[in-house]
Structure 1
Amino acid sequence: MHALLIALAAGYGIAAGLLAARPLFRLAVQPDEPWRAACPDGHPITGPAAGWLGLARCGPCGRATDAGASPGAYGPNGVLVAGVCALACAGLAAAVGSRPELAVWLLLVPLSVVLAGVDLAVHRLPDVLTLPMALGSAALLGGAALVPGAAGSWSRAVFGGLALGAAYFVLFLINPAGMGFGDVKLAVTLGVALGWYGWDVLFLGAFTGLLLGAFYGVALVLTRRASRKAALAFGPFMIIGAGAGVLLGGLAAG
């Protein structure tokens, strides 16, 4: 039964990842630019949900080029995004099992992958995702807490979100050039997820993200790929650290 759950989670991750590549492409723009509404060749992005739902392939370009030709695809490699989502979802299913909070984690995975990809591309974490994620994660965990078998605490999750958000807000005030306000809003969601399993999990996940980001920044400086004052995409490391914390929290709760 556990193996079946992991397989189903991986399958969901593949499907969600294939669909996540399109919004990643559309959202990866500079703050003063509108969301992308056309492929690189200028064809309008159409489809369900005003073009937000669908595979990362332009229909007109795909029909006009040979199979596999790069002009037919836009945005990140959908297979790569799907693979990342599948691995994350399978890992969470293996760690958490059939407990009700797993559904919340699986919903957060593709959104987190989109945010990480956008931050890596253009150094921003769009409000259109960070704010609904913060409110949605708290609300959904509140529902999970009412289901028998839940392994966490909803009140601690809410306080964890507030605590980690406040900590990142202090870091933002200290060094606004190195820590964006989008990181602060993302920290609320990650704090909610980590706080669900305990304060020790919250500390571990938050510290891991900070440590990974610091190592990455130092590596860029040492290799002269960036200066000490250069802005870094910190969101992906926050997400990886939080993911590691949730995995360990899920294992410990089992």
Structure 2
Amino acid sequence: MPRTASRPSSPATTTPTAGARLGAAIAVLTVAPLLRWLVAAESVPPDRPRRAGCDACGTPIGPTGPLAALSPLARCPGCRSRYGAPPFAVELALLLAVAALLAAARPGWESLAFAWWTACAVPLVFVDVAVHRLPDRLTRAAALGTLALLGLAALVGADGAAWWRAVLAGTSAALLLGASTLLLGRRGFGLGDAKLALSSVAVLGWLGWPAVFTGLVVTFLASAVVGLVLLAARRIRWRGHLPFGPFLVLGTIVTLAAA
């Protein structure tokens, strides 16, 4: 994939340093409990409030609850029942995403923008798989934070064209997916998918139009392959619903790492 002009050619921005790797490891250890809490809190049907405690015994989860409630073991410290994402799954997903960010080795504000998007995208993947929904508070945070930080990157790097391209790409993708919902109903994409596309495709747009094409190809190809495998295994039916958010995140991260 061609590199965009916004990426400096300095060796310092193309090879992660030992300090960058250490900082990434510390970030994973610090952020993972917060993301695990978001997954547990948001993995509820649309008509129910956020989960505030263990479904079995009511032990609080989150910042006000015991720290053990946010451990990678995914067990309630009160009754030892399972809840939220599978054990170590959030941590592994976050580690892989951070590895992709290190491979991309983007400078300054760009790295911060992509890190913010990643922190929002990881819990969205687990929530979508669990309950087939993408909460507005996370998709909104992903879009606003990512576009704002990319705007700062454009100001610092004097590359306003990259920011406008990101806005155009993300907005266009969101409108197209949203239109499919209005026109096709349940057979189209969900509005949550459209809201997630706003930030995900904006990230691709910042990298360049070839990245938008590559990311969307990876997204739809992965979705098709997994769908066919699940159909062959009789895990879903032709009219079944396959969450699209995880594939959109996967396509974006893979393209970001390869850019």
So what's the TM-score if we normalise by structure 1? 0.84
Distance 1:161 1:227 in 2: 31
**Residues 165-203 of structure 1: CA deviation (Å, up to 9, x unaligned):** 123224334543242111111111111111001111011
The residue correspondences of 1:150-169 to structure 2 (distance < 5 A) are 153-169=162-178
Gaps of 5+ in 2: 1-15
Percent identity between the aligned chains? 34
Instruction: Name the SS for the 1:231 alignment partner.
Output: coil
Distance 1:152 1:56 in 2: 42
**Residues 108-150 of structure 1: CA deviation (Å, up to 9, x unaligned):** 2121110000000000001111122212211111012122497
The residue correspondences of 1:20-59 to structure 2 (distance < 5 A) are 20-45=35-60, 48=63, 56=70
Instruction: Name the SS for the 1:39 alignment partner.
Output: coil
Distance 2:62 2:190 in 1: 33
Distance change >3 Å, CA 14–CA 174, structure 1 → 2:
farther
Distance change >3 Å, CA 18–CA 116, structure 1 → 2:
same
Match of 2:85 in 1: 76
Distance 1:244 1:103 in 2: 18
1:180 matched to 2:194? The reply is no
Aligned with 1:13 (options 28, 43, 47): 28
The residue correspondences of 1:88-107 to structure 2 (distance < 5 A) are 88-107=97-116
**Residues 82-131 of structure 1: CA deviation (Å, up to 9, x unaligned):** 22212211321232244420011112212111000000000000111112
Instruction: Name the SS for the 2:54 alignment partner.
Output: coil
Match of 2:133 in 1: 124
Distance change >3 Å, CA 149–CA 82, structure 1 → 2:
farther
Instruction: Name the SS for the 2:70 alignment partner.
Output: coil
Distance change >3 Å, CA 203–CA 26, structure 1 → 2:
same
The residue correspondences of 1:216-235 to structure 2 (distance < 5 A) are 216-235=226-245
Aligned with 1:133 (options 109, 130, 142): 142
8 Å contact kept, 2:120–2:141 = no
Distance 1:121 1:154 in 2: 33
8 Å contact kept, 1:104–1:141 = yes
Distance 1:78 1:30 in 2: 22
Distance 2:109 2:23 in 1: 15
Distance 2:69 2:154 in 1: 34
Match of 2:207 in 1: 197
Instruction: Name the SS for the 1:29 alignment partner.
Output: coil
Distance change >3 Å, CA 131–CA 8, structure 1 → 2:
same
Instruction: Name the SS for the 1:176 alignment partner.
Output: helix
Instruction: Name the SS for the 1:229 alignment partner.
Output: coil
8 Å contact kept, 2:167–2:202 = yes
So what's the TM-score if we normalise by structure 2? 0.82
8 Å contact kept, 1:6–1:94 = no
One-letter amino acid of the counterpart of residue 237, structure 2: S
Alignment coverage as a number of residue pairs: 241
8 Å contact kept, 1:92–1:105 = yes
Instruction: Name the SS for the 1:90 alignment partner.
Output: helix
Distance change >3 Å, CA 102–CA 182, structure 1 → 2:
same
Aligned with 1:143 (options 131, 144, 152): 152
Aligned with 2:95 (options 78, 82, 86): 86
